[in-house]
Chains A and B, each alone.
Chain A
């Protein structure tokens, strides 16, 4: 059995997954790792933050641009330390390293796939209704955001997350079969979601 447990939380854009993850981490008294923390953790590779940021889950190219230059930076004919693939590998190393050191909650970054061999892992997916997510986007973005713009932003980012996840893991993002539990934060509310995850974690992970 692994020394430390880990809860990996995947989420649709603006479904409140981050809030739920923060509550879970708080209730269990462990740290939560999202983009910023992970970026810092990746830094023992000697690489600057910029590259991790550029290669992150929502930054895939689309359309014609991807046709001509999508993966040419990493065309397999030559080694390139700045390719998305090698940055993904460094990030994975960081995730594994953190998992060896402490109990924690990860948000996204294919952590469920990276840590798939761990026996103290709980995989969670958080979704919410479209109306609820649109309302959240509008609330956070402030002026100039209309519901229709918000909806297309949501669709866009979800699509990018899906293509990032599907590319690197070979699995299907948001497919319930990948997760131990999938929750709808609109129906349950953040607090209830967090309670359910914590209860399941205690039962399953031997906390």
Chain B
């Protein structure tokens, strides 16, 4: 893609050096997006209260669903635009940009309106109770009102990356996190607007980020810029964008379904507080996972290029090195969760009951984490050597296929601990699956080299 103009270095430079150089920007972007969650939850936990944290947690499946639709357009248009730029077909790229803006507005507004109309049944389905629904609704109404901007901001960020401006996309991401943090502080701690303040902060920072992106894309000397006459939808462009974006979208929808199952299980076998506890654990887990994803993103071009060039020893080297780094990151997460869970939880809350539940959940949830790092790397490795089938099987297994049966069965026997134990249980099976897919593949690669 546009940002990688010198593939030769991928075939010759030292693997370790390449991996680190590609990983740093990816990690920064990943960390920034996971910090967003942590900051929001921390301000709400401390500034509003532990019930508000649970109220926020039941909105996440809905937010995920919205993000899934946003990523569908973003990924689709990003891929198509980088293809057109590669062909120097600037008119089509321009048209795609315009079309994606229209599509984002359409989907964002329709999703926003539908969810607003059915807000109560939706939140109840996702695990809201009489105690938490007030918070959830207060937060979500504002977020949904700004939903089109969320889609636009995320979508254009994908396009900026695809159009060879990964740095601008990163500035937008980091800028949004910083702005959101500042506004969260202002609205929650100073103005005491409660959970509403967090929602307003989110919407304002995304609107401003979108305005900045528009400014960047209005420069007429740029290869692609926002232009009159490109906004009318074209059937075949829309179809192409949506087909490409469909698979990442489905993955996100699946993730949303799992959160729904977990939330409902926690409510059934625990309480509202347990849902809040899960959102704390989830934030920390998400940050660790995102850091591994950063390494994965860096591995992709290196492994892919060398695989294509038949340099199997380099392919294996980058695989092992990424697995090593991935394991280091998840082991660090494991150590923090097992030996100093209190310190993590204090970021979000001082509530004694919430802390106790979160501490227990966290210690169980992270049990297998040292092994999860390599599982994630293996899944991504298959994708980078052009085997998306195995890659999808890997990510679906850990987060969906193996997890759901445990989530249904274990709580019946062990109550709330059953839910916490489902996660390490599915982790361990998916690690076994990962290695049993990887080992024959490595043998094959060794034979080829």
Contact = CB atoms under 8 A, between A and B. Distances in A.
B is bound to A: yes
Q: Which of B82, B158, B250, B308 has the most CB of A within 10 A?
A: B308
Contact of A75 (B7, B237, B248): B248
A77 B305 CA distance: 17
B391 interface: yes
A72 interface: yes
Majority secondary structure, B binding face? helix
Contacts of B310: 48
A167 to B, nearest CB: 6
A80 B297 contact: no
Interface stretch (B115-123, B202-210, B239-247, B277-285): B239-247
Given A72-B383, A170-B92, A77 B297 contact: yes
A77 B4 contact: no
B304 A71 contact: no
Contact of A80 (B162, B246, B304): B304
Contacts of A79: 1, 3-4, 300-301, 304
Interface in B58-101: 74-76, 78-79, 82-84, 86-87, 89, 92
The 7 closest A-B pairs by CB, nearest first: A82-B386, A76-B79, A76-B78, A81-B304, A73-B388, A69-B388, A47-B308
A164 B10 CA distance: 29
Contacts of A48: 308-310
Interface size class of B (residues with CB under 8 A): 35 or more
Contacts of B301: 78-81
A74 B11 CA distance: 20
Interface of B: 1, 3-4, 7, 10-11, 74-76, 78-79, 82-84, 86-87, 89, 92, 158, 161-162, 236-237, 240, 243-244, 246-248, 250, 296-297, 300-301, 304-305, 307-310, 383-386, 388-389, 391-392
Q: Which of A66, A72, A92 has the most CB of B within 10 A?
A: A72
A78 B75 contact: no
A81 B86 CA distance: 13
Given A48-B308, A68-B250, A82-B385, A167 B240 contact: yes
A168 interface: yes
A114 to B, nearest CB: 7
Interface in A73-96: 73-83, 85-86, 88-89, 92
Contacts of A68: 247, 250, 392
A76 B158 contact: yes
6 contacts: A51-B308, A71-B79, A76-B78, A80-B304, A85-B82, A170-B237
A81 B309 CA distance: 10
Given A77-B297, A82-B385, A67 B308 contact: no
A50 B143 CA distance: 48
Contact of A82 (B1, B244, B307): B307
A46 B11 contact: yes
Nearest to A117: B88
A168 B244 CA distance: 12
Contacts of B383: 72-73, 78, 80
A119 B359 CA distance: 71
Contact of A71 (B1, B247, B307, B389): B247
Given A47-B309, A89-B86, A89-B87, A78 B79 contact: no
Contacts of B84: 170
Given A78-B297, A80-B300, A89-B83, 12 more contacts: A46-B11, A67-B246, A68-B250, A70-B246, A76-B74, A82-B308, A88-B83, A89-B86, A89-B87, A92-B86, A92-B87, A167-B240
B178 to A, nearest CB: 23
Contacts of B74: 76
Interface in A160-183: 166-168, 170, 172
Given A69-B388, A166-B236, A46 B1 contact: no
Given A89-B86, A170-B237, A72 B248 contact: yes
Contacts of B305: 81
A88 B162 CA distance: 16
Nearest to A77: B75
